[in-house]
């Protein structure tokens, strides 16, 4: 059978079937576990209670997650290079270093702390945390106002393709003057006030977390790279889709969430909402909600026999395709704390602790009920020998009247506290063994570390943190690695020729096109050696070795360079929390180092050393360009002032000429003396102050 190209109906049916099966798989087999985990995190339990007895819940799930999450955040965010690109060739060294620092810059610019907090939270409770990395073109609109513009300046602004005139106000300075022959001896003069919108488009790499209930993947997927279909759904307004270029009628008539109700049980559990109508803007058609789906799947649409990756934009419950296009990557990074081999969804930390929360809840309720009954014991009373009103009165020090001293006896029960407390401690230890969250690992259990040698304390801490280190390594090797690779891939596909970044104390242009596409990635977190003191000690030892080699073999030793020594010093300061190393050590790179060596060699030979080039030449050049732009703006303003002065001068001369004509008429009426009007006209037509346009100002 030969491959053939697919029709629009075949494409629609294939996408609808694949997405619907993937969504059904997640909703039926994955969502129930996540809903249960969310409820347990919110402090609920499946243990029943009796009326009048304790309803307290031992929040082991929430306590465990809240205890381990800060440690994970600290491990990932304290590292200057949580993920590092490694070159495969000597020519790729500079590009790999720049790619590492640029990817971290993009990560921090997108509020990396918040992104990691969200995806870690989802992974710890909902099996997976999902981050989306994509390239987005953002339009920036700037409103400017101009006053007293000439017609030439007005025409220049109107012909600017990036400018849109929002409002225009015309002020008449002088009407046109026409003589008796019909010849215009003075043109009409006016000035203009404008309100102009300037629109500029700038592309940015963006990172956002995706709600777990919005993400879907097919049943047979093992990882994000080998899935048949994946994507995410969300609610969009009709107006948002129209702004993206889709037809209003088509979008408005689609089904989905247009009725404004939230029918996703998992989202309701996460948000704590009731299933009620929240579409308060239903009267506005543009604010009507529509289910919006973005799906990624491979398909052989052209009939070449080789499927290619496509991005499908769908809307409505039937996933009607609004648009599709070829794409180079799937923009999702998936974070997991306990992956399951040969399947996409592993286990969350909440699932591991759920059963312990039920058991601890049962023990805690029994303990509290036992203490309550011990403090308020039941009594046995002989009927008709005890005043029941006195007995039922719980007033402290109250008197109970009896007819026989033996008519009242306390109903004694055993105190279960002695048995419940060891049982609760047992479950606490079980949870610690499962999750690695211990007092020693958190640095909070002072009793456990007393009377111990330094080696013993370190061994205890490292042994206790083994499980949490494995969780950190799973997060790093999975989602963190995928996210940084996506950043580099998108940067190479969408280079910004004018982008610059501060690298080793210098402003250098960022050119992702120079990065090779075969860079390896390594993670620097979750390796069991992230203690800050140990790394500072290792860097200090490295510094000593570098200085010994430099002193023994000189600057041409071939092993240690000034650039390497400066990097070691900067890393030591970074480990100590001082990230602005430029205040203490001058910037250094191989180019500056080579220039310094040449100057030293020339000085040794008695030659005049050449001045090294400014390492901040690119930054200075940019500042000079800004200064030139400011000078041109000032010149343009001066030109506008000169034009205004010329128009004021013309107006004053016309007023003087008209006053002269009026006085001539009055003189003729009073004295009969005739003035020469032609001389007055020649006076009006005499050349005025010339106006030379400033070409540098753009007018």
Query: What is Dmax (Cα atoms) for the chain?
Result: 147
Q: How many CB atoms lie within 10 A of CB 659?
A: 10
pLDDT, position 599:
82
State pLDDT tens for residues 348-371.
Answer: 999 988 888 888 888 888 888 777
Residue length, the chain? 699
**CA separation for the pair 268, 428 (Å, rounded):** 31
pLDDT, position 129:
94
**CA separation for the pair 41, 357 (Å, rounded):** 10
pTM for the predicted model, two decimal places: 0.68
Helix (H) or strand (E) holding 410: strand 408-411
**CA separation for the pair 123, 140 (Å, rounded):** 35
Strand partners, 216: 231
Contacts 24+ apart (CB under 8 A), 537-542: 539/568, 539/571, 539/572, 539/575, 540/572, 542/568
pLDDT, position 520:
77
Q: Between the CA of residue 676 and those of 179, 360, 664, 680, what are the distances in Å?
A: 15, 115, 9, 7
**CA separation for the pair 406, 385 (Å, rounded):** 9
Q: Which residues contact 426 (CB under 8 A, 6 or more apart)?
A: none
pLDDT, position 687:
57
Judged by DSSP in three states, 556 sits in: coil
Structural contact between residues 291 and 217, judged by C-beta atoms closer than 8 angstroms: no
pLDDT, position 324:
92
Helix (H) or strand (E) holding 524: none
Helix (H) or strand (E) holding 500: strand 500-503
pLDDT, position 53:
80
Residue 303's region, left for phi above 0, alpha for psi from -120 to 50, else beta, is left
> Quick one: tokens of 97?
């270093």
C-alpha dihedral sign at 631, 637, 640, 641? negative
Structural contact between residues 677 and 668, judged by C-beta atoms closer than 8 angstroms: no
Burial class (CB in 10 A: 0-12, 13-18, 19+), 469: buried
Spatial CA neighbour of 562 closest among 541, 586, 532, 580:
586
- Reduced 3-state DSSP string for 604-644: HCCCCCCCCCCCCHHHHHHHHHHHHHHHHHHHHHHHHHHHH
Q: How many CB atoms lie within 10 A of CB 192?
A: 18
The dihedral over CA atoms of 288, 290, 294, 299, expressed in degrees to the nearest 10, equals: -130
What one-character DSSP code corresponds to residue 27?
A: I
Spatial CA neighbour of 349 closest among 224, 437, 466, 463:
437
Judged by DSSP in three states, 437 sits in: coil
Judged by DSSP in three states, 456 sits in: helix
Q: Which residues contact 354 (CB under 8 A, 6 or more apart)?
A: 36, 37, 40, 61
Residue 399 backbone dihedrals phi, psi, to 5 degrees = -100, 135
Judged by DSSP in three states, 98 sits in: helix
pLDDT, position 457:
44
Domain spans of the chain?
A: 1-27+228-329, 139-202, 531-614, 617-697
Helix (H) or strand (E) holding 559: none
**CA separation for the pair 568, 591 (Å, rounded):** 18
Structural contact between residues 307 and 299, judged by C-beta atoms closer than 8 angstroms: yes
Residues of the chain below pLDDT 70: 1, 184-186, 255-283, 412-419, 436-465, 502-506, 526-532, 577, 579, 606-637, 639-640, 642-643, 653-654, 657-658, 660-661, 664-665, 667-699
**CA separation for the pair 161, 199 (Å, rounded):** 9
Residue 409 backbone dihedrals phi, psi, to 5 degrees = -145, 140
pLDDT, position 442:
45
What are the strands, taking DSSP E only, across 249-327? 289-299, 308-315, 320-326
Percent of the chain topping pLDDT 70? 75
Structural contact between residues 491 and 106, judged by C-beta atoms closer than 8 angstroms: yes
> Quick one: tokens of 296?
């990624």
Structural contact between residues 529 and 472, judged by C-beta atoms closer than 8 angstroms: no
């Amino acid at each position: 059978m030969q491959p053939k190209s697919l029709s629009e109906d075949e494409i629609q049916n294939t996408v609808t079937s694949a997405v619907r099966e993937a969504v059904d798989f997640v909703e039926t087999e994955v969502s129930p576990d996540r809903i249960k985990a969310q409820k347990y995190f919110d402090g609920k339990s499946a243990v029943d209670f009796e009326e009048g007895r304790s309803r307290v819940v031992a929040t082991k799930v929430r306590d465990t997650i809240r205890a381990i999450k800060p440690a994970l955040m600290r491990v990932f965010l304290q590292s200057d290079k949580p993920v590092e690109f490694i070159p495969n060739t000597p020519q790729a060294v500079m590009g790999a270093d720049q790619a590492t620092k640029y990817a971290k810059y993009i990560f921090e610019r997108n509020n990396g702390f918040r992104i990691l907090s969200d995806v870690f939270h989802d992974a710890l409770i909902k099996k997976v945390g999902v981050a989306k990395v994509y390239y987005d073109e953002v339009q920036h609109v700037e409103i400017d106002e101009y006053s007293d513009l000439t017609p030439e300046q007005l025409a220049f602004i109107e012909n600017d393709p990036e400018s849109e005139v929002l409002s225009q106000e015309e002020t008449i300075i002088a009407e046109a003057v026409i003589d008796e022959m019909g010849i215009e001896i003075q043109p009409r003069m006016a000035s203009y006030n404008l309100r102009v919108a300037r629109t500029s488009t700038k592309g940015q790499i963006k990172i956002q977390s995706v709600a777990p209930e919005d993400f879907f993947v097919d049943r047979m997927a093992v990882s994000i790279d080998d899935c048949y279909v994946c994507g995410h759904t969300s609610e969009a307004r009709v107006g948002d889709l129209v702004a993206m270029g889709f037809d209003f009628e088509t979008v408005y008539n689609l089904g989905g969430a247009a009725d404004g109700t939230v029918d996703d049980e998992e989202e309701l559990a996460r948000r704590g909402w009731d299933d009620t109508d929240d579409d308060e803007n239903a009267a506005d058609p543009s604010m009507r909600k529509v289910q919006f789906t973005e799906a990624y799947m491979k398909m052989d649409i052209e009939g070449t026999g080789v499927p290619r990756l496509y991005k499908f934009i769908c809307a409505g419950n039937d996933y009607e395709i609004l648009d599709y296009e070829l794409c180079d990557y799937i923009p999702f990074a998936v974070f997991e704390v306990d992956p399951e081999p040969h399947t996409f969804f592993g286990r969350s930390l909440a699932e591991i602790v759920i059963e312990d929360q039920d058991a601890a809840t049962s023990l805690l309720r029994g303990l509290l009920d036992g203490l309550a009954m011990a403090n308020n014991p039941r009594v046995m009373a002989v009927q008709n020998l005890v005043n029941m009103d006195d007995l039922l009165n719980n007033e402290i020090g109250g008197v109970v009247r009896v007819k026989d001293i033996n008519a009242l006896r306390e109903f004694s029960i055993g105190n279960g506290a002695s048995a419940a407390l060891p049982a609760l401690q047992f479950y606490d230890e079980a949870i610690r063994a499962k999750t690695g969250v211990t007092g020693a690992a958190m640095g909070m259990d002072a009793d456990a570390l007393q009377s111990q040698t330094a080696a013993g304390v370190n061994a205890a801490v490292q042994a206790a943190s083994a499980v949490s280190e494995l969780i950190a390594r799973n997060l790093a090797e999975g989602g963190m690695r995928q996210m940084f690779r996506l950043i580099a891939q998108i940067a190479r596909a969408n280079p910004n020729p004018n982008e610059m970044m501060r690298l080793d104390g210098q402003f250098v242009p960022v050119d992702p096109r120079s990065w090779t596409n075969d860079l390896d990635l390594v993670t620097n977190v979750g390796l069991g050696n992230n203690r800050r003191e140990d790394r500072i000690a290792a860097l200090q030892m490295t510094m000593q070795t570098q200085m010994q080699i430099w002193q023994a073999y000189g600057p041409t030793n071939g092993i240690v360079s000034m650039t390497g020594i400066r990097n070691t010093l900067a890393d030591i300061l970074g480990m100590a929390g001082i990230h602005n190393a430029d205040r203490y050590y001058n910037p250094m790179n191989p180019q500056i180092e080579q220039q310094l060596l040449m100057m030293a060699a020339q000085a040794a030979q008695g030659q005049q050393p050449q001045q090294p080039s400014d390492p901040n030449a690119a930054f200075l050049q940019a500042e000079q360009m800004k200064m030139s732009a400011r000078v041109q703006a000032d010149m343009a303003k001066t030109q506008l002032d000169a034009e205004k002065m010329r128009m004021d001068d013309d107006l004053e001369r016309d007023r003087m000429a008209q006053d002269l004509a009026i006085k001539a008429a009055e003189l003729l009426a009073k004295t009969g003396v005739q003035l020469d009007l032609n001389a007055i006209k020649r006076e009006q037509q005499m050349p005025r102050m010339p106006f030379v346009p400033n070409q540098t100002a753009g007018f």
